[in-house]
Structure 1
Amino acid sequence: MNTGVKITAFAAALAATFGTAYGVGKGVGPVEEPKRTEHAGHAAREPQEKPGHEGHGEESAAAASSLPGGLQISQDGYTLALDTPTPARGKSTLKFSIKDASGEKVTAFATEHGKELHFIVASRDLTTFRHLHPVRAADGTWSVDADLPEAGGYKAFADFRPAAPGAKGVTLGADLSVPGAYAPKPLPAAAPTSTVDGYQVRLGGVLDPGEPGELKLTVTKVGKPVTDLEPYLGAYGHLVALREGDLAYLHVHPNEGGPGPDVSFTATAPSAGTYRLFLDFQHQGKVRTASFTVTAGANGKAPAPAATGVGGAGHDAGAHAHG
C-alpha cells in the first residue's frame, strides 16, 4: 500500500518525474503504447513466443499484453459478466460476477488494499465517478448499490487478483447503459486546484507518456495544511486515472509518506492524451474525491493540469460513493 505503483500501458496503473509544481513534459512523436505495463501494482505479462506459430496469434497476444487496463471485458481467462447492464437512472443495485475460462463464477480472490475486488463506475463523459465496494455472495455474485444520476453510457471496472496460485492482477471493463435522454457534458476547464466540501487539493508534477514520475497532491482546508489525513483502505490516498475517449484505466497508490498534507504517487501515462484523475482521501471520517483533468504530452508540449473540484457523496461530477 505504501509503495509507488508504476503504470506503463495499462496492463498497468497510469506514469514521469514530477515536483510540487508542473514541470516541462518531454516531447513525444507518434502515439505508441509502451510495450510493458504494470497495473495497480502488478507487473504486466510479457507476450511469450510460440515456436512454429507466426503472424496473427503472436500479434494478438502481444497486443493484449500491452493494452492499458479496463479496455477488455475478458483477459487472462477471466470475464466480467454484468447481470445489470442497463440499470435505471438514479439509485439502483448493480450485480455482476467474475467468470473463469470454463464459465464458472470465481469465488476466491486475494485481498489487496483491504478488499477482494475494487469496483469503479464512471460516465463516458468522465463527469461522474463512483468507487464502490460490492459484497460477494457465496455463489460468486457481487452486488452493490450505486447512484447513476444521468442517462447515457457508463463504464464499469473490476480490479482484482484471483486467489489461484501465481495469479496476477487483472482489470476488466464492461459497458453500462442508463436509459433516457443523454446530453454529454464537457470536461472541466484547466485549473491547478480542485475544491471539494471546503477542502482545496493542489496537483503538482507532470504526466509524460511512457515515463515514470511523481504526482503530488496537497490537501488544505481554509488555507491551512491538513496534516491528519486518515487511512482509507490502508493508504492516505487512492488515485484512479481514466483516459478520455476509450476510458483506459490506471489505478495508483501512494508513495511512502503521510498523514498529509501531501500525498505522492508514481504514475506513467500509457500515451499522449487527456486524462481525468480522481483522488480519494479521508478526513474526519468521510471520504472525499477531488477530480482533475490533465493533458499528457500533447504535441510535445508540457502537460497541462486542469481541475474542477467535485466530490463527496451526493455530487454528480467526480462524486465518490461507497458500497
Structure 2
Amino acid sequence: MNTATKLSGFALGLAAVFGAAYGVGQVAGPVAPAAETRHDTGDTAHDDPAGVSPGHADAHAPAGVAAHLPGGLLVSDQGYTLTPLAEAPAGDFVFRITGPDGRPVTRYDVAHDRRMHLIVARRDLSGFRHVHPEMAPDGTWRVASPLAGAGVWRAFADFTPTGGPALTLGVDVIVPGPLEARPLPAAATSATVDGYTVTLAGVPRPGHASELTLTVSRDGAPVTDLQPYLGAYGHLVALRRGDLAYLHVHPEGAPGDGRTPAGPAVTFSAEFPAAGAYRLYLDFRHGDAVRTAEFTVVVPGTGDAATAGTPTATATPTAGAGHGAPGHGHD
C-alpha cells in the first residue's frame, strides 16, 4: 500500500478477512521469490541445532505450493485452522484453533513459557505487538485487542497442539477507520527504545543461516543484567515486506545455563528465505519491562553489496508487562 487509503463504511469493531489466498499469491509473485523459511518453535523436541525449524507444509496442498511456503502465510495448515470470532465483545480479540476433526483444540504444548503466542503486525509494518491470550476450557482464546489503529493487520498464531506439528497460522483482520499508509523506515545500524540503544551486527544471506548479534546499552553503558523473558534473553521476529512471511527465532544459549551472559550482546542464528526488505522486532526485558527495538534489514541477493541495517524506533514500557505505545507492545 503506497498511497493514502481510507477504510470506512464499516461498523465499529473488527472484521476478519481470511488471507490465505493472498499470501500464496504474494509468495509466488514478484514481491519475493518463493523459498523455504525457518520458524523456531521454542520446543526442544522440535528445534534444530541452528535454533530454527523448517516452515510447515500443508499435507493436502498441491506439490510445490504449500510445501515451501514460509510460516504465517496460511490460515489453515495440516488440518488446523485459525478462526477469529466475529461475535467477540468490543475491545477483545477472540479466536479458536480447530483441528483435523473440526473441533476446537484444547490441548497445547508449552513453548517458551506459553501455550499460545499471538503476534500482530499492520500490513505496512508500522505497528507490531506480541501478546499471550488466555484459553477457556472450550478452546476459545481471548486477549484485549492488540490491534491499535485503523488498517489491515496480520494476526499470527504461533503454537504446538499436543501430539501435532508446531505451526504458525495467519489471518488478515481489518480495523475500520481513516488510514494513511506509512513507508517502511530506511535501513540503519541502531535503534533507540525508551533510552536504550540497540545495535545490530551481521549481514543476513538469503537461504543460509546468518548470525545476527544485537547489543543493548543504556546511557552509553552496556547492559549486562538483561532479565529472562519467556525463557530467553531476547526474542526476534522478522516479517518480509509485501507478503509478511514470518520468521521467529530465539538466541543462542539460555538463562541459567552457566555459559550465556545476560547481555549486552544477544546472538541469533536466522535463515532468511529470500533477498528483500524485512522488518525485525527484538524483544528484550530490563528493569522489569519488556521493550521492542525495531529494524529494517535489507537481505542482499547473490552478488549484491547491500548490508543489513536498522532504523531508529521509540517505545514506552509498562512495568512488568511490556510497553503500551500504540501499535507496539507485549503482554
Contact preservation (8 Å) 1:73, 1:79: yes
Query: Residue 79 of structure 2 corresponds to which residue in structure 1?
Result: 77
What is the DSSP-based 3-state SS (H/G/I as helix, E as strand, rest coil) of the residue aligned with 1:65? Answer: helix
- How far 1:84 moved relative to its partner? 4.0
What is the DSSP-based 3-state SS (H/G/I as helix, E as strand, rest coil) of the residue aligned with 1:174? Answer: strand
User: Which one of 262, 285, 288 corresponds to residue 288 of structure 2?
Assistant: 285
Query: Residue 181 of structure 1 corresponds to which residue in structure 2?
Result: 178
C-alpha distance 125-215 of structure 1, shift in aligned 2 (>3 A): same
C-alpha distance 183-45 of structure 1, shift in aligned 2 (>3 A): closer
Question: 1 CA distance for matches of 2:57 and 2:238?
Answer: 25
User: Which one of 300, 312, 318 corresponds to residue 308 of structure 1?
Assistant: 312
- How far 1:68 moved relative to its partner? 0.4
Q: What letter corresponds to residue 82 of structure 1 in structure 2?
A: P
Question: 2 CA distance for matches of 1:38 and 1:267?
Answer: 8
Matching of residues 21-40 of structure 1 within 5 Å? 32-35=33-36, 37-40=37-40
Q: What letter corresponds to residue 99 of structure 1 in structure 2?
A: T
Query: Residue 245 of structure 2 corresponds to which residue in structure 1?
Result: 248
Query: Which stretch shifts more, 144-153 or 201-210?
Result: 144-153
Query: Residue 261 of structure 1 corresponds to which residue in structure 2?
Result: 264
Deviations 1:120-175 (A, max 9, x none): 011111111010110000000000013433211000000011102xx221000001
Q: What letter corresponds to residue 73 of structure 1 in structure 2?
A: V
Question: 1 CA distance for matches of 2:286 and 2:307?
Answer: 30
Question: 1 CA distance for matches of 2:142 and 2:324?
Answer: 20
C-alpha distance 85-183 of structure 1, shift in aligned 2 (>3 A): farther
Query: Residue 98 of structure 1 corresponds to which residue in structure 2?
Result: 97
- How far 1:308 moved relative to its partner? 2.0
Q: What letter corresponds to residue 105 of structure 1 in structure 2?
A: P
What is the DSSP-based 3-state SS (H/G/I as helix, E as strand, rest coil) of the residue aligned with 1:235? Answer: coil
Deviations 1:79-136 (A, max 9, x none): 0000149997xxx210001001222100000001000011001111111101011000
User: Which one of 161, 168, 185 corresponds to residue 171 of structure 1?
Assistant: 168
What is the DSSP-based 3-state SS (H/G/I as helix, E as strand, rest coil) of the residue aligned with 2:67? Answer: helix
Q: What letter corresponds to residue 66 of structure 1 in structure 2?
A: H
Q: What letter corresponds to residue 237 of structure 2 in structure 1?
A: V
Q: What letter corresponds to residue 243 of structure 2 in structure 1?
A: D
Question: 2 CA distance for matches of 1:182 and 1:286?
Answer: 30
- How far 1:309 moved relative to its partner? 1.5
- How far 1:301 moved relative to its partner? 2.9
- How far 1:298 moved relative to its partner? 4.4
Query: Residue 5 of structure 2 corresponds to which residue in structure 1?
Result: none
Question: 1 CA distance for matches of 2:68 and 2:272?
Answer: 13
C-alpha distance 72-86 of structure 1, shift in aligned 2 (>3 A): farther
Q: What letter corresponds to residue 326 of structure 2 in structure 1?
A: D
1:227 equivalenced with 2:231 (yes/no)? no
Question: 1 CA distance for matches of 2:95 and 2:263?
Answer: 36
Contact preservation (8 Å) 2:159, 2:168: yes
Q: What letter corresponds to residue 98 of structure 1 in structure 2?
A: I
Question: 2 CA distance for matches of 1:69 and 1:84?
Answer: 24
Question: 1 CA distance for matches of 2:79 and 2:265?
Answer: 39
1:321 equivalenced with 2:325 (yes/no)? no
Contact preservation (8 Å) 2:58, 2:77: no
Query: Residue 157 of structure 1 corresponds to which residue in structure 2?
Result: 156
- How far 1:213 moved relative to its partner? 1.5
1:270 equivalenced with 2:261 (yes/no)? no
Query: Residue 44 of structure 1 corresponds to which residue in structure 2?
Result: 54
Aligned residue pair count: 279
C-alpha distance 64-87 of structure 1, shift in aligned 2 (>3 A): farther
Gaps of 5+ in 1: 1-29, 50-56
Contact preservation (8 Å) 2:35, 2:70: no
C-alpha distance 79-46 of structure 1, shift in aligned 2 (>3 A): closer
Deviations 1:11-41 (A, max 9, x none): xxxxxxxxxxxxxxxxxxx964445x54214
C-alpha distance 107-201 of structure 1, shift in aligned 2 (>3 A): same
Question: 2 CA distance for matches of 1:171 and 1:65?
Answer: 14
What is the DSSP-based 3-state SS (H/G/I as helix, E as strand, rest coil) of the residue aligned with 1:144? Answer: strand
- How far 1:217 moved relative to its partner? 0.2
Question: 1 CA distance for matches of 2:115 and 2:57?
Answer: 27
Query: Identity of paired residues, percent?
Result: 48
